[in-house]
Amino acid sequence: MVTQTQSVGQVVQKVRDLAVLPQVVHQIIHLTSNPNASAKDLERLISIDQGMSTRVLNTVNSAYYGFSRKIASIKDAVVLLGFKAVRNLAMTVSVFDLFVGKTDRQNLRRGKWWRHSIDTALCARLIASQVSGVSPDEAYTAGLLHDIGKPLLDRYGDAPYEQVEDLVAQGVPELTAEQQVYGCDHAAVGRAVSLHWGFPEKLVEAIGCHHADSSDGLQDAPLTAVVVLANHVAHLLRQPDAPDDWWFDLPQWTVDTLHLTPQQLQSLYLGCEVEIQSSPMVALGR
């Protein structure tokens, strides 16, 4: 019988053999956690990667930003949008390639995952800005990458992800369905590849534990709690009829960790809705 650890190891080995995550993304993630990072560091980092520079400038010059003149350099983009906005944009466009499929069904599935990843990143950043002890920038990164295990399973697993979708359509919970098909789930794969990629421990934990039922064993419970909450809210915001008392479905530990009342949760929910609708990042999720 193949164990989850063995199954995760098989996927990670395939990832290890390929240049899956652009090196520049690793560096941008480390910039996020470096309080001494400067705008010049970011400009240099983006500018040496021609593909990333082109994507960032194309996005900045899109109608969503509405600048009256064409932005011709990363330096100008940083001046106009700010260090944090350009850093998040650069990381977001770089991760996109992981969510591109080879078939129409793959593209449809991965497109939904990609949109949800951006939604969760935006929600996580907003929620982190309203609670204590969590960096909004780290929360954005964790939200963006929380489901990274899904496209990796889809791409490098020994079975098509359609088998998981078919089980879910029959009422099987998603994580259970993944374990039945692959012998592991996307959270375990996300944690393993994050470790392999050398991500900061708090980011590894938030990715690997975004379905956690308790805070037991967590080293940075607030960041993980923000991602769990953001993931939940992002899913709800894409549903036509979210229940008024939606927070009852949240793991209680997240509410306790972040010290949030039902009124505060509802306020955050409405704030996340506005954030997703108004952010130019949403253009990247379509």
The domains of the chain, with CATH numbers, are: 4-19+99-285 (1.10.3210.10)
Task: Tell me which amino acid residue 21 is.
Answer: L
CB 220 within 8 A of CB 226: no
Q: With 50 as the cut, is the pLDDT of residue 109 above it? A: yes
Between 134 and 53, name the one with better pLDDT: 134
Closest by alpha carbon to 206, among 135, 153, 146? 146
| Type of residue at 178 | E
Of the listed ranges 60-64, 133-137, 221-225, 281-285, the one predicted with least confidence: 281-285
Mean pLDDT of all residues in 136-143: 93
Query: Averaging pLDDT over each range in 47-56, 64-73, 153-162, 212-221, which range is the top one?
Result: 212-221
C-alpha–C-alpha distance, residues 168 and 178, integer Å? 9
The closest alpha carbon to 32, from 135, 124, 119, belongs to: 135
The mean per-residue pLDDT over the stretch 268-276 comes to 94
**Residue 217 burial by CB count (10 A; 0-12/13-18/19+): exposed, middle or buried?**
exposed
DSSP letter for 98, please. G
Q: Which strand (E) or helix (H) includes residue 226? A: helix 221-237
Distance CA 246, CA 197 (A): 35
pTM summary value: 0.86
Q: What is the CA radius of gyration of the chain?
A: 19
Residues 6+ apart with CB under 8 A from 96: 55, 114, 284
Q: What is the Cα 168 distance to its own chain's centre?
A: 22
- CA dist 175 and 226 (Å) reads 20
Residue 209 pLDDT greater than 60, yes or no: yes
Q: Which two tokens stand for residue 251?
A: 């793991």
Whole-number mean pLDDT of the chain? Answer: 86
Predicted confidence band of residue 214 (pLDDT cuts 50, 70, 90) = very high
Residue type, 37: A
Express as a percent the part of the chain with pLDDT over 90: 46
- Over residues 145-154, the mean pLDDT reads 93
Q: What type of residue is 64? A: Y
Task: Give me the pLDDT at residue 283, please.
Answer: 64
pLDDT in tens, 232-265: 999 999 888 877 788 888 999 999 999 999 999 9
The SS3 assignment for 63 reads: coil
CB 230 within 8 A of CB 128: no
3-state secondary structure 232-276: HHHHHHCCCCCCCCHHHHCCHHHHHHHCCCHHHHHHHHHHHHHHH
The phi and psi torsions of 201 (rounded to 5 degrees) equal -60, -40
Within 10 Å of residue 220's Cβ, how many Cβ atoms? Answer: 21
Nearest by Cα to 123 from 286, 284, 274: 274
Residue 161 phi, psi dihedral angles, 5° rounding: -65, -15
